[in-house]
Amino acid sequence: MPEYEAVIGLEVHVQLKTASKMFTDAPTGFGRPPNSITNAVVMGMPGTLPVLNKGAIEQAIRVGLIFGSKIPEVFKWDRKNYFYPDSPKNYQLTQMDAPVCVGGQVEIELAGPSRNLMGEHKIIHLDHAHLEEDVGKLTHFSKDSLVDYNRAGTPLLEIVTKPDLHSAEEAVALLQSIRMHLVAAGVSDCDMEKGQMRCDANVSVRPIGQSTLNPRAEMKNLNSITGVKHAINYEIGRQSRVYDKGGTVTQETRRWDADLGRTSSMRSKEEAHDYRYFPDPDLLPVHFPRDRIDELKEGLPEGVFVRQRRYEAQYGLPYTVTSVICYDHELTIFFETGMVEYGKNPKTLANYIANELQRERSQAEGDGNLPMADVLLSPEALARMVQLIDAGKLTKYLARDVFVDMFNTGKEAQTIMDEKGIKVEEPDAGELEQWCRDAVAGNPVAAQQFREGNDKAINSYMGPVMKASRGKANPQTVREMLIRIIGET
Ligand code: ADP
Ligand code: MG
């Protein structure tokens, strides 16, 4: 039996964040009463005309700029004609052959050997991204169905990759990378549970070494990360077994059934001519001003992985910390706002965000992490707490409880310290000296290493001495005293 290689291309649909719909001023929104945010244009009433939403186009262009796509001089709108009850107009406005973004590439990260280690990075090429309008939502019952047109007409960007992916893990990493970048840029919330991000997965397998592509199955409307992963893995297995038995795979559209954990044939692949595409007569081709594109580019945040590499190089932050902060745009903003307040100790600030803040959020009441919007602790207050530590007015030991109080109340570290009488009490110098001497006597090897030029060796005494002082000693004083004692002996 030959060994197979999977070949996968994704069509990722993301709802763009805009106040109103793609071609009319009806508002966008999730969770509203059914059919409450529609109007005559959304409902395709005779005599209505579409009006282009400039904000949606700018959001789409931002996506292209984030991923290095070319924004063509002109793009246009086509009607894709089909009847289905979720689309009241009988056609969908889309871009068939002149999309808003052409080409581009997305950097992805595959999981590392452990959570603490950086994974492999790859580049996945994009074919294009085109704008279209979302359709309504059908809910089927045993005898009848309900339709809600609230979602109909919402701007939807379809990002189409080249068949560059070779495993379910890579497909998931692509979705995660797209989500991180788009959320950071404020282009989309990409919440799969709210249907703001969905994807069609095209999967084929071929014997390793073959360069031509085999026929593919397209699985429509996968709406969760686990769905994407399981559907792709199932399909790779199914097609491999077909080939093993000497059969052929035909190009078709398949449905993923999450309950049964398998795909089943829906229909043979439709062809473009089935949709009788033609340019929409009511919408002119768009010549988007080049200087506005430059402005949009200026306004974009730094790329997620670019920023991560910069934090590692510029601040010496470890992967364990950057992979928490940089992969969550709200934490990035928290960190950078804190840095503006007090930028002298990025490592300590970042550590409190990636560890203590995340721990308290995960332990807060309610399900899931406490949303950042509900966090009482401000980045400025945290930065000032770090400043107190650096000034020797607070120790990391004492800061453990102070931090939790700050998180729970939103108060300043200094206020909490005043209220609770927390202060760094310099232990009696004689007592401190005794602890230092005990520590050095207990580990003569480290002292020797320090004398031989290994400055870090002194750190092995810091813990025991700080512990003996119950966190009250000033680390700087302890360090100086240790250096003196080691020099004497
Ligand atoms: P269509 O015209 O049917 O939409 P496209 O050529 O635009 O097909 O491709 C749609 C998606 O399918 C793209 O993401 C592409 O990378 C992927 N794709 C195309 N051919 C294959 C194949 N043989 N195996 C896996 N994915 C494929
Ligand atoms: Mg296509």
Residue nearest to atom 7 of ligand 1 (CA): 160
295 Cα–ligand 2 center, Å: 30
54 Cα–ligand 1 center, Å: 30
Instruction: Verify whether ligand 1 is closer than 6 Å to residue 204 (CB atom).
Output: yes
**For residue 365, what pLDDT is reported?**
86
Residue numbers of the domain that contains 95: 4-294
**Do both 49 and 151 map to the same domain?**
yes
Question: What is the atom index within ligand 1 of the atom nearest the CA of 162?
Answer: 16
**Do both 270 and 314 map to the same domain?**
no
Instruction: Verify whether ligand 1 is closer than 6 Å to residue 8 (CB atom).
Output: yes
Q: Which of 160, 228, 248, 271 to mutate to test the pocket of ligand 1 (most atoms within 8 A of CB)?
A: 160
Of 294, 329, 351, the position where a domain reaches its end is 294
313 Cα–ligand 1 center, Å: 39
Question: What is the atom index within ligand 1 of the atom nearest the CA of 272?
Answer: 2
Q: Which of 200, 202, 268 to mutate to test the pocket of ligand 1 (most atoms within 8 A of CB)?
A: 202
Of 277, 294, 311, the position where a domain reaches its end is 294
**For residue 132, what pLDDT is reported?**
97
**Do both 70 and 204 map to the same domain?**
yes
**Do both 181 and 32 map to the same domain?**
yes
**Do both 120 and 235 map to the same domain?**
yes
**pTM of the full structure:** 0.89
Instruction: Verify whether ligand 1 is closer than 6 Å to residue 162 (CB atom).
Output: yes
Question: What is the atom index within ligand 1 of the atom nearest the CA of 269?
Answer: 3
**Do both 252 and 362 map to the same domain?**
no
**For residue 274, what pLDDT is reported?**
85
**Do both 155 and 290 map to the same domain?**
yes
**For residue 368, what pLDDT is reported?**
82
**Do both 458 and 476 map to the same domain?**
yes
415 Cα–ligand 2 center, Å: 60
418 Cα–ligand 1 center, Å: 65
How many independent structural domains does the chain possess?
3
**For residue 482, what pLDDT is reported?**
93
219-250 pLDDT tens trace: 998 999 999 999 999 999 999 999 999 999 99
**Do both 307 and 449 map to the same domain?**
no
Output the domain CATH number for residue 483.
Answer: 1.10.10.410
Residue nearest to atom 2 of ligand 1 (CA): 272
Instruction: Verify whether ligand 1 is closer than 6 Å to residue 160 (CB atom).
Output: yes
Question: What is the atom index within ligand 1 of the atom nearest the CA of 161?
Answer: 14
Tens digit of each residue's pLDDT, the chain (489 residues) = 789 999 999 999 999 999 999 999 999 999 999 999 999 999 999 999 999 999 999 999 999 999 999 999 999 999 999 989 999 889 999 999 999 999 999 999 999 888 889 999 999 999 999 999 999 999 999 999 999 999 999 999 999 999 999 999 999 999 999 999 999 999 999 999 999 999 999 999 999 999 999 999 999 989 999 999 999 999 999 999 999 999 999 999 999 998 899 999 987 777 777 899 999 999 999 999 999 999 999 999 999 999 999 999 999 999 999 999 999 999 999 999 999 999 999 999 999 999 999 999 999 988 888 999 999 999 999 999 999 999 989 988 889 999 999 999 999 999 999 999 988 877 788 889 999 999 999 999 999 999 999 989 999 999 899 888 877 788 888 999 999 999 886
Question: What is the atom index within ligand 1 of the atom nearest the CA of 164?
Answer: 16
4-53 pLDDT tens trace: 999 999 999 999 999 999 999 999 999 999 999 999 999 999 999 999 99
**Do both 278 and 131 map to the same domain?**
yes
Q: Which ligand is nearest to the CA of 10?
A: 1
164 Cα–ligand 2 center, Å: 15
**Do both 385 and 466 map to the same domain?**
no
**Do both 385 and 435 map to the same domain?**
no
Instruction: Verify whether ligand 1 is closer than 6 Å to residue 213 (CB atom).
Output: yes
Question: What is the atom index within ligand 1 of the atom nearest the CA of 218?
Answer: 12
Of 420, 452, 470, the position where a domain reaches its end is 420
217 Cα–ligand 2 center, Å: 13
Q: Which of 94, 125, 216, 236 to mutate to test the pocket of ligand 1 (most atoms within 8 A of CB)?
A: 216
Question: What is the atom index within ligand 1 of the atom nearest the CA of 203?
Answer: 25
Q: Which ligand is nearest to the CA of 235?
A: 1
Instruction: Verify whether ligand 1 is closer than 6 Å to residue 7 (CB atom).
Output: yes
Instruction: Verify whether ligand 1 is closer than 6 Å to residue 11 (CB atom).
Output: yes
**For residue 42, what pLDDT is reported?**
95
Q: Assign 3-class secondary structure to the chain.
A: CCCEEEEEEEEEEEECCCCECCCCCCECCCCCCCCCCCCCCCCCCCCCCCCCCHHHHHHHHHHHHHCCCECCCCECCEEEECCCCCCCCCEEEECCCCCCEECCEEEEECCCCCCCCCCCEEEEEEEEEEEEECCCEEEECCCCEEEECCCCCCEEEEEEECCCECCHHHHHHHHHHHHHHHHHCCCCCCCHHHCCEEEEEEEEEEECCCCCCCCCEEEEEECCHHHHHHHHHHHHHHHHHHHHCCCCCCCEEEEEECCCCEEEEEEECCCHHHHCCEECCCCCCECCCHHHHHHHHHCCCCCHHHHHHHHHHHHCCCHHHHHHHCCCHHHHHHHHHHHHHCCCCHHHHHHHHHHHHHHHHHHCCCCCCCCHHHCCCCHHHHHHHHHHHHCCCCCHHHHHHHHHHHHHHCCCHHHHHHHHCCCCCCCCHHHHHHHHHHHHHHCHHHHHHHHCCCHHHHHHHHHHHHHHCCCCCCHHHHHHHHHHHHHHC
184 Cα–ligand 1 center, Å: 28
Question: What is the atom index within ligand 1 of the atom nearest the CA of 10?
Answer: 14
